[in-house]
A and B are shown apart, each in its own frame.
Chain A
Amino acid sequence: GAVVSQHPSRVICKSGTSVKIECRSLDFQATTMFWYRQFPKQSLMLMATSNEGSKATYEQGVEKDKFLINHASLTLSTLTVTSAHPEDSSFYICSARLVRSSYNSPLHFGNGTRLTVT
């Protein structure tokens, strides 16, 4: 149980275009989803916290107009990288918390999306 599906797994796009990444909780409902970014050989950096039905909370230094997050339902959150640039190339990973899960419950992660901007 507790499967998080992330799509696409890989995407290559041209500079200036936008890319949408989907994160779905397949067998549970998630009021909160987290979007992380991972640079090569580095840790996961939290980008934003996505709450169902409300605006996302962005971490300091993350441009909310560039990384648009929508959490329209209890099973789907999307991250749209707008006007992508080569420096946006990275590995993006989403994670989700079950509805009404305890504070000490582990997060469930998607398999990540490798974005390459040419």
Chain B
Amino acid sequence: AQSVAQPEDQVKVAEGNPLTVKCTYSVSGNPYLFWYVQYPNRGLQFLLKYITGDNLVKGSYGFEAEFNKSQTSFHLKKPSALVSDSALYFCAVRDERTGRRALTFGSGTRLQVQP
């Protein structure tokens, strides 16, 4: 079975500081990993994905994520946080081997960027 863990319910950072939102995953085959962001009462917006290739992937709004196979992690990062980055962030995985087309989501991490 595929699963995703986001160990932090909330992350607080000061504007201008780097941010990291953690994600670890568990799959039986090769993982397809995604990050989404959700603003209040809205659906999810795609940020970035890892399929294969470079372990560091760059996405929308200056976000990037690093795939680490040995640690089964896919942490989301941004060098300099903005107040407008405050939102709910979800890590998701799809297991290449299962053939399951839906994504499995982590529990979400609320990011608060303080001015």
Which chain A residues have a beta carbon within 8 Å of chain B's beta carbons? Answer: 4, 6, 9, 32, 34, 41-44, 46, 49, 91, 93, 95, 97, 103-104, 106-112, 114
Contacts and interface: CB of A to CB of B under 8 A. Distances in A.
Contact of B90 (A44, A103, A104): A44
Contact of A93 (B44, B46, B51, B108): B44
Interface stretch (B18-26, B66-74, B77-85, B99-107): B99-107
Nearest to A47: B102
Contacts of A111: 41-43
B15 interface: no
Nearest to A44: B105
B103 A107 contact: yes
B43 A6 contact: yes
B90 A43 contact: yes
24 contacts: A9-B41, A41-B9, A41-B108, A42-B107, A43-B90, A43-B105, A43-B106, A44-B105, A46-B104, A49-B101, A91-B41, A93-B44, A95-B43, A103-B101, A104-B94, A106-B34, A106-B46, A107-B46, A108-B46, A109-B36, A111-B41, A112-B42, A112-B43, A114-B41
Interface residues of B, number: 23
A97 B101 contact: yes
Contacts of A91: 41
Contacts of B41: 9, 91, 111-112, 114
Dominant secondary structure of chain A at its interface with chain B: strand
Interface string B88-115: 0010001010000111111110000000
Contacts, number: 57
A79 B46 CA distance: 23
Given A43-B108, A104-B32, A109 B45 contact: yes
Contact of A109 (B44, B96, B102, B108): B44
Identify the 10 closest CB pairs spanning chains A and B, nearest first: A109-B43, A109-B44, A104-B51, A106-B46, A111-B43, A43-B107, A44-B105, A104-B32, A43-B105, A110-B43
